[in-house]
Amino acid sequence: MTTPVAWDPNDWERWCLQLLRLAYGADQLQEMPARHGGDMGIEAFTFSGHAFQCYAAEEPASVADRYENQRDKLTRDMKKLITKKKDYERLLGNVKLNCYFFLVPYFDSKELVLHAQQKAAEYLDAGLPFLDSGFRVRVVTDDAFKEARSLLLGRPKELISVPPTTEDGLRDWLDENTEMRQTVDRKLSPLFPVDNHRDRYVGEVIAHYLDSENYLQKLRERYPDQWEDASRTVTRTERRLNMEYLSSGEPHTGRLIVQIVRDLEKKLSQGVPLLDADAATTLAWGAVGDWLIRCPLDFEGAGV
């Protein structure tokens, strides 16, 4: 028999919200703070019609006591669908709730599931305008969000997919940003004195930069926590750039850029464990492109 984990209620709520952010994305999940004006019986909802209440009962407890605590909590919070009906109408607008998730660390009584079904029927009969005709109540643990849980526990999987910059897209950017392109070309000229070699390298660097910018935009929209961690890691590396690399005494060659990228890949993987390897590489090369376009990375006057 599985022994229930004794979760602090606040820690359980934070854990659940992290799972939900990953499962649905920040563009779909609306969290519901309770500090001003009290809560509405839910921690969050999605614009696809899912509502979430998170509850960790005090442990250890008997099967009967755990059931009664969970049952009473579900009853109290669902009652707010009626007592705060006007607030829900304002909150949801055109969104119809089709599922109310009661997220608990553990449950071991079929009576709780039966109670949830009873509540679903009861509130459907109440004729609440913001409930879908197929409204249901589900009692679940974090097993319902296994993929998000795996990500949080450090098994990286592709968070988002962004198509690489096309040749036409790269050509358009180079045509529209000649000054930036010339800046990168000037900075790389000490490392790549042969024009055609340097042209190809500049094109690749700019393409990586554009891929990275697109990735970061999508990451910020869907996973803002991971975007913030990635941005912080890149900024910290930028601040140490001169001390760690440019003043290291090592010869300034194309290998130095690769070293910077590899070190930044490692820092991103450590600082943002949810990033897969390809994403870390994209962001690392994109950061180098950004630093070449701006001012932090400059090899002017360097020996080859």
Q: What is the pLDDT of residues 73-118, one digit of tens each?
A: 999 999 999 999 999 999 999 999 999 999 999 999 999 999 999 9
**Quick check: 304 pLDDT over 70?**
no
Clarify whether residues 181 and 246 are in a common domain.
Answer: yes
% pLDDT > 70, the chain = 90
Clarify whether residues 92 and 215 are in a common domain.
Answer: no
Tell me if the pTM is above 0.75: no
Q: Is 9 helix (H, G, I), strand (E, B) or coil?
A: helix
Clarify whether residues 172 and 124 are in a common domain.
Answer: no
Tokens representing 70 are 């969970």
Clarify whether residues 14 and 75 are in a common domain.
Answer: yes
Q: How many domains does the chain have?
A: 2
For residue 240, what pLDDT band results from cuts at 50, 70 and 90? confident
Clarify whether residues 200 and 148 are in a common domain.
Answer: no
Counted residue by residue, the chain has a size of: 304
Task: Report yes or no: 103 and 45 within 8 Å, Cβ to Cβ.
Answer: no
Q: Residue 3: its pLDDT value, please?
A: 56
Clarify whether residues 114 and 208 are in a common domain.
Answer: no
Report if residue 161 sits inside a domain: no
Q: Are strands 50-54 and 97-103 parallel, antiparallel or unpaired?
A: parallel
Report if residue 107 sits inside a domain: yes
Cβ neighbours, 10 Å, residue 211: 22
Q: Residue 136: its pLDDT value, please?
A: 97
Clarify whether residues 146 and 174 are in a common domain.
Answer: no
Element (H, E) at 145: none
Final residue belonging to a domain, choices 88, 122, 152: 152
Ranges 1-5, 26-30, 88-92, most confident: 88-92
Final residue belonging to a domain, choices 152, 183, 207: 152
Comparing 54-63, 140-149, 170-179, 241-250, which segment has the lowest mean pLDDT?
241-250
Residue with tokens 């009962």: 57
Clarify whether residues 185 and 137 are in a common domain.
Answer: no
Task: Report yes or no: 111 and 71 within 8 Å, Cβ to Cβ.
Answer: yes
Clarify whether residues 118 and 180 are in a common domain.
Answer: no
Q: Residue 36: its pLDDT value, please?
A: 40
Tell me what the mean pLDDT of segment 188-203 comes to: 83
For residue 142, what pLDDT band results from cuts at 50, 70 and 90? very high
Of 286, 268, 262, nearest to 204 (Cα)?
286
Q: Residue 161: its pLDDT value, please?
A: 81
Q: How far apart are alpha carbons 49 and 42 in whole angstroms? A: 13
Q: How far apart are alpha carbons 140 and 143 in whole angstroms? A: 7
Report if residue 269 sits inside a domain: yes
Final residue belonging to a domain, choices 152, 182, 208: 152
Residue with tokens 């790389």: 188
Report if residue 15 sits inside a domain: yes
Clarify whether residues 27 and 50 are in a common domain.
Answer: yes
- Which domain range does residue 224 map to? 167-293
Residue 35 one-letter amino acid: R
Cβ neighbours, 10 Å, residue 136: 17
Clarify whether residues 78 and 183 are in a common domain.
Answer: no
DSSP β-bridge partners for residue 103: 54, 140
Report if residue 298 sits inside a domain: no
User: Which 8-state DSSP code applies to residue 149?
Assistant: H
